[in-house]
Amino acid sequence: MHTVKIPIRTKTLFGLGTAAENICLYSFSFLVMLYYNQVLGLPATLAGLGPTIALIVDAVTDPLVGSWSDRLRNKKWGRRHPFMLTAPIPAALSFYMIFSPPAGLETTELFLWLICFSVLLHLFMTLFFVPHLAFGGEMSKDYHERSTIMSYNNFGGYIGAASAHWFGLTFFFYATAEQANGLLKLEAYQDFGLVASVVVVICLYISAWFTRDRIPTLSQPAESTEPFSMPALFTDLKQALQNPNYMYLLLGLLLLSVTIGMRASFNNYMNLYFWELVSDQIRWFIIGSVSGYIAGFLLTFYIQKRFDKRASIVIATLGYGVFDALPVCLRMLGLFPENGSDKLFPSILVCHALGSASLSVLNISVMSALADIADENAAKFGVRQEGILYAARAFFAKADRAIGTLIAGIVLDLISFPAKAIPGQVDANVVMWLGIMDSPATIIPALLAALLYSGYRINHGKHKAFTLTK
């Protein structure tokens, strides 16, 4: 089968959309719980429950948007671009409002503000994110070329997250004479929210507008395809869930996302209170992240050529599960540098880079595998289902990350972690329990996820067989 190469310009613009998405979503994950709990004083359970509710609502709407975009018939704008062009402004506005609650709100009012704009942010990002991923999955039918496309998607996402991290900590959350830990500065959050919102809306529109030239090359729904409806949605879901390969990916994700959600929620707490780092140090973690992500971006194609996608997914899951937890595990065994040591930060950075590389390979491989599953389902059912397949995956990921976030908030209250705490002045037993729940406890679901991922069975030969016979 002749491979049609997708222009680098198109893949770059596709990745730019993911970069903008991740500026929003990474910043939300990285900052919101710490901001509402440690800066504004909202109880940790409520600070975790707000994002949890938003993620659950978001998860429920993912399959709706996926099925809707699969079934949309629009010859001028295609199936995906109407959604991608509608979402940017309301998404950016919602992001800004999250970091700009009015002064003087009581606990209940602050909690409702958090819920309202968190839900709106995730709803509008779903309108962009799900069709955008489906668009990437259907740009090429080639087994290896789509891995390259998803590498740009993955790399763009990491560049977005890295930019938000670096520029945020450098230009907004920097240390001052009054506050050595810039992440605890109240006034920095609104300024960051405003600048990030403007950048996000510009990048989302550029990505959507300048990839519209691909619309004529993409599949349209068959003439016999029913318009979107709730019965049609359930039909799409039933067909998708009948695929054993898809179920193995979903069940693996079910467990892995709990790990991701807990680690993301604990991240700033670990840096500030367990490792006792300051914001000027924390910003340099992005070096490890970017190094790992670039390594994954460059190596995934070659790893898959050598070992295929299943082995890539399993090994990468094991790597992510272990490497990110290694510093705490070694500290508990007395084998890791003490806080304040010159060796501490570089040691954490190396482990973080290895975990990031593993997660990069994992994300690229899974996204590419989903496009292969779409081909398999097209051969079986005669319909293209990229939207519903990526959306149902996103449903599982977000629902489980919501569970992980909620667990993190509950854990902080159960171990009596204080609100508005001062680094270095939190009880040592409380800090140790924080480390246990962040690292050793989260290895277990990651290991079980790797076991489930091993059930995936599509390889290059099988993919070629069902694409030629459909």
CB 253 within 8 A of CB 396: yes
Model pLDDT, residue 228: 58
* Helix, strand, coil shares, percent, the chain, to 5: 75, 0, 25
Model pLDDT, residue 2: 47
- The secondary structure of residue 80, as a DSSP letter, is T
Model pLDDT, residue 383: 67
CB 274 within 8 A of CB 435: yes
Model pLDDT, residue 1: 43
| Residue 383: other Cβ atoms inside 10 A | 19
CB 434 within 8 A of CB 408: no
Distances (CA, A) of 98 to 49, 169, 327, 422: 15, 18, 33, 24
Model pLDDT, residue 467: 60
- The secondary structure of residue 7, as a DSSP letter, is P
Model pLDDT, residue 137: 75
Model pLDDT, residue 231: 76
CB 446 within 8 A of CB 321: yes
Low-confidence ranges of the chain (pLDDT < 50): 1-2, 470
Q: Domains in the chain, please, with CATH?
A: 8-469 (1.20.1250.20)
Structure-token match 């016999």, residue found: 224
What are the tens digits of pLDDT across the range 40-72? 999 999 998 998 898 888 878 887 887 788 777
What are the tens digits of pLDDT across the range 233-290? 677 777 777 888 888 888 888 888 888 888 888 988 999 999 999 887 888 887 788 7
